[in-house]
Amino acid sequence: MKTPILLLPALLLATSIAPASAQTAGGAQPQAQPLGGPVVPGLCLVSREAIFANAAVGKAASTRLQELTRTAQAEIDAQRPAIETEAKALEAQPDNAQTQPKREALAGRWQALQTQAAQIGREIEATRAKALARIANEAQPVIAQAYTAYKCGLLFDRNVALGGNFANDLTADVVKGLDAKIQTISFERERLPAPVATSAPS
């Protein structure tokens, strides 16, 4: 009986508060090359992803999420050696009526560990989403202030802009304003109810 390597879901390994596509500089331009042209009065841009990635509170939240992820991974890793050791021992034994119950029991333990890993993955993602919502809530008044200061009439997501004049990009100002308002947040891993197992129809 060969035991596959148990890994936490990929979702659990994505430990940054901001999406991977976020820019690394607070006022960086989008991937598309700016096309220049006149400034469009009242039309402003902002990148929420860049705010989350570059504001101090976003960086602090990402660091905390990484800590929680490492702890969660350790919960799974601590249970793996015993299962893998038993699996190797069973591999050397013939597959017969005497060893079959042991193999079935081991498969059940392995499935339980996979289920636990998936549950932890959901909890880490819920933790990330909650932290992100808290930062977004803190950023919203700062965005509103910048919106008023720039005399904006419309606000667009900078990351969907194909090109143009980005003079009215509020992102850098929002990052500075958010840094002046809050530097960090504290949070623990969310605990979610385990999914209810459904029996197969007879």
- Describe the crossing of helices 100-149 and 80-91 by its angle, rounded to 10 degrees: 150
SS3 at position 190: coil
Model pLDDT for residues 150-182, shown as the tens digit of each residue: 999 999 999 888 888 899 999 999 999 999 999
| pLDDT at res. 15 | 56
pLDDT value of residue 196: 74
Q: What is the pLDDT of residues 96-112, one digit of tens each?
A: 888 889 889 999 999 99
Average pLDDT of the segment spanning 48-71:
95
Residue 7: CB atoms within 10 Å? 12
**Mean of per-residue pLDDT scores for the chain:** 84
* 66 contacts: CB under 8 Å, gap ≥ 6: 15
pTM of the full structure: 0.79
Mean pLDDT of 56-74: 95
Q: How confident is the model at residue 183 (pLDDT cuts 50, 70, 90)?
A: very high
pLDDT digits over 80-93, tens only?
899 889 988 888 88
Closest CA to 50 of 139, 146, 183: 139
pLDDT band at 94 (very low <50, low <70, confident <90, very high): confident
Residue 199: the pLDDT is 54
Extents of the domains making up the chain:
19-75+125-181
Residue 137 pLDDT grade (very low, low, confident, very high; cuts 50, 70, 90) = very high
137 versus 98: the higher-pLDDT residue is 137
pLDDT of residue 19: 61
Paired residues of 162 in beta bridges: none
19-75+125-181 belongs to which homologous superfamily? Skp domain (3.30.910.20)
Quick one: average pLDDT of 108-127? 93
Please provide residue 46's backbone torsions phi and psi, each rounded to the nearest 5 degrees.
Answer: -155, 145
